[in-house]
Amino acid sequence: MALRFPVRFGARDQVAFVVRFKERTHAYLNQCAHIPSEMDWQPGQFFDLSGLYLICATHGALYLPESGLCIDGPCVGRSLLKIETLEQGDSIYWRPNNLIQPISFSKQA
């Protein structure tokens, strides 16, 4: 099961997710490379039945968990937008980049 977290992508608030696969963490924007829609088939469920691939619930594209490369389905050869992660102790950190930033919270008066 993945952990979903909010991010800012361009001018929009969206969701990203982080999964653990083969002892390493991998994070991506939750947006299919085929059509920009969220991919999980239940909130936080991204793996196919084999547990080897990330699957898009809409049309079944399969992605490699380590790289986000689509290897089957309508977007073969394209990739999910990867977010760099760092794991220290019990915490996982993600690094903002020029496309994906933290959501800024403003105080309500």
- Residues in the site for ligand FES, rule: CB under 6 A? 32, 34-35, 37, 56, 58-59, 61, 73-74
Smallest gap, in angstroms, from Cβ of residue 83 to ligand FES? 18
d(CA 38, CA 76): 17
Nearer to ligand FES, 64 or 92 (CB): 64
Nearer to ligand FES, 42 or 87 (CB): 42
Smallest gap, in angstroms, from Cβ of residue 24 to ligand FES? 24
d(CA 54, CA 82): 13
Nearer to ligand FES, 61 or 83 (CB): 61
d(CA 109, CA 100): 28
> Residue 99 gets which letter from DSSP?
S
For CA atoms 10, 98, 82, 19, give the dihedral sign: negative
Identity of the amino acid at 5 = F
Nearer to ligand FES, 36 or 102 (CB): 36
Smallest gap, in angstroms, from Cβ of residue 64 to ligand FES? 15
